[in-house]
């Protein structure tokens, strides 16, 4: 089935099963491999992307839910890698092995967009804030 997507500001048309996880569309059909597969069960967050600015676990999000919505992956967070979070990640040496950092950055960006001054008491998004 033909599906129209807007990803990182660009219109794309794909041919896929509407139930295909968004993660596989992003990685396998569109070649954006910054978004990672970890658990496949919405637990680890490595696959996190934004739908209309909200963090979602793309491993459990059918691509049909992304139609007519703005999808943002780590490649689209900042075209130049100059997002304040990306700069802070480098400055503070956060990456470690780096495998899940795209998901961490996308979760943090969504949190800060919703709560620019988070405290430890609200640092973890509620289940309502993490759209599944
Ligand atoms: Fe672990 Fe999606 S791969 S939450």
Q: What is the pLDDT of residues 89-122, one digit of tens each?
A: 999 998 888 888 999 999 999 999 999 998 887 5
How far does the centroid of ligand 1 lie from the alpha carbon of residue 29, in Å?
Answer: 18
pLDDT digits (tens, 9 = 90+) for 13-34: 999 999 999 999 999 999 999 9
Q: How far apart are CA 114 and CA 125, in angstroms?
A: 10
| For residue 128, pLDDT beyond 60 | no
Cβ of 44 closer than 6 Å to ligand 1, yes or no, is yes
Angle CA 71–72–78, to nearest 5: 155
Residue 60 CA: nearest ligand 1 atom is 2
User: Which pair of tokens denotes residue 19?
Assistant: 């139930």
Residue 44 CA: nearest ligand 1 atom is 1
Cβ of 107 closer than 6 Å to ligand 1, yes or no, is no
Q: Which helix (H) or strand (E) holds 70?
A: strand 70-72
| For residue 2, pLDDT beyond 60 | yes
19 CB-contact burial (10 Å; exposed 0-12 / middle 13-18 / buried 19+):
exposed
Whose C-alpha lies nearest to ligand 1, atom 4? 42
Choice between 122 and 40, residue whose per-residue pLDDT is larger: 40
User: Which pair of tokens denotes residue 124?
Assistant: 């973890």
């Amino acid at each position: 089935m033909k599906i129209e997507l807007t990803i990182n500001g660009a219109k794309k048309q794909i041919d896929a099963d509407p139930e295909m996880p968004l993660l596989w569309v992003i990685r396998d059909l569109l070649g954006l491999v910054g978004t990672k597969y970890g658990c496949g069960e919405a637990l680890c967050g490595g696959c996190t992307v934004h739908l209309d600015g909200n963090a979602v676990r793309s491993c459990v999000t059918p691509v049909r839910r992304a139609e007519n919505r703005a999808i943002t992956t780590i490649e689209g967070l900042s075209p130049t890698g100059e997002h304040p979070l990306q700069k802070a990640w480098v400055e503070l040496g956060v990456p470690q092995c780096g495998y899940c950092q795209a998901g961490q950055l996308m979760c943090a960006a969504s949190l800060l967009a919703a709560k620019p001054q988070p405290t430890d008491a609200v640092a973890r998004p509620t289940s309502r804030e993490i759209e599944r």
